[in-house]
Amino acid sequence: MKRMLFAILLAAAVIGSCTFQTPKVERLHVEGTTLVNESGETVELKGMSFGWNVLWPRFYNADAVKHVVQDWDAELVRAAIGVEIDNGECQAQCYLKDPEFGKQCACTIVDAAIANGVYVLVDWHAHGLHTDAAVEFFTYMANKYKGVPNVIYEIWNEPSYKDHVNQIDYTWAEIKEYSETVIAAIRAVEKDAVIVVGTPRWSQNVDDAANDPIEGYDNLMYTLHFYAGTHKEWLREKGDYAISKGLALFVTECGGMNADGQGPIDDESTQAWIEWMDENDISYAFWSISDKEETCSMLLPSAASEGPWADSDLRPWGKYVKEQL
C-alpha cells in the first residue's frame, strides 16, 4: 500500500510539473538591422501594447496577458508605464509620484509574459526627460529580471517637446546623452538584453539617430512610431534611410488611425505599413489595450478586466488587430 501511494504521489508530481512548466523563449540579439534568435534566424515579433498603466490599470493583470497570447496569438506584449501625465487624479499614480505602483504594473505584465512564453517590452512611457528616475527604474527591472530572455527594455517611448509653449523638440544630441546614461545603467547589470532607444519628435526622426548612432554597445535598436492616418510614405522613407545606414528598427507602437488616436482606420495606409515592416523584418506592437472612447482603443467598457473578450467587447480597431495577428 505504501509503495502504491508513493507511486501515485510521484506520478501526480510528474504530471503536475509537466502541466505547469513555464514555456521557454530564446534569447534574442541584434545582427545588423534585424532581430535574430539563438540560431541566427531572423525574428519578427508581432503583438500589442497595453494602454497607459495609470489610466487603465484594470487591464494590468496576468489573465489579460494570457488572453491576448492564447486567443489573439500575440507574440509580444508591451507594458506602458506612465511616467508623467496631466490627467487629474490619475496623475498621483504616475511613476514620478508613485514609482512602486509603476514597478508593480510592469512586473505583473513581465511575469505574465514569462508564464505564457512571449516577449515583453518594458516601456518607459514618457514624453519628457527624467534621467534619474529612468536609471532607478531600469536598474531595478534589470536586477529583477537579469538573464530572463523574454524582457526587452524600451528606455524612452516618445521624446517630444522640451518647450511645449514654443513647440521645441528634444534634439537627438539630448536624447542620445540620456540614452547612453540609461543604457550604461542596464548594462551594468544585464549584459545581453535588447534595448530600444527612442528617437526625436515622438520617435519619428530615426534619420537623426542614423546620422549619429550610439556606439560601444551591442543589441541596440531604435524606435519608429507611426499612425497610418497621419504618417505615410515620407515616414517610411526615413525608416529606409535609417536601415540603409545600419540601424535596427523596432515599431514599439503603431495604429491605423490619425496620430491623435482618432479618425477612421486607414486600411490602405495600414496595410502599406504592415507590408513594409514585414519586408524589413521589423517587429511591432499595436496600440492599445484600453477602453477609452477613441479609435485607437481596442476594447469597449463592457470588456472584463481579465478577459476573455468576445467580439462584442471589441471596438473596430480591436477586431482589426485580432485579425492581423
Give the residue among 243, 275, 298, 269 at the shortest CA–CA distance from 78: 298
Q: Are 141 and 109 in contact (CB under 8 A)?
A: no
Residue ranges of the alpha helices (H) in the chain? 2-19, 62-70, 99-116, 131-144, 172-187, 200-203, 206-211, 233-244, 267-279, 316-324
Query: Which residues fall within 8 angstroms of residue 123, CB to CB, at 6 or more apart?
Result: 49, 78, 79, 80, 81, 154, 157, 252
Beta bridge partners of residue 80, listed in sequence order: 123
Judge whether 75 counts as a catalytic residue. Answer: no
- The C-alpha atoms of residue 45 and residue 41 are separated, in whole angstroms, by 13
Q: Which of 26, 44, 158, 293 is the catalytic position?
A: 158
Judge whether 253 counts as a catalytic residue. Answer: yes
Which DSSP string do the residues of 103-172 spell out, in sequence order?
Answer: HHHHHHHHHHHHHHT-EEEEEEE-SS--HHHHHHHHHHHHHHTTT-TTEEEE--S---EEETTTTEEPPH
- The C-alpha atoms of residue 203 and residue 181 are separated, in whole angstroms, by 19
Strand ranges of the sheet holding 29-31, from the earlier edge strand across to the other edge: 29-31, 34-36, 42-43
Q: Which of 38, 89, 233, 253 is the catalytic position?
A: 253
- The C-alpha atoms of residue 149 and residue 145 are separated, in whole angstroms, by 9
Query: Which residues fall within 8 angstroms of residue 25, CB to CB, at 6 or more apart?
Result: 117, 118, 119, 149, 150
Q: Could you list the active site residues?
A: 158, 253
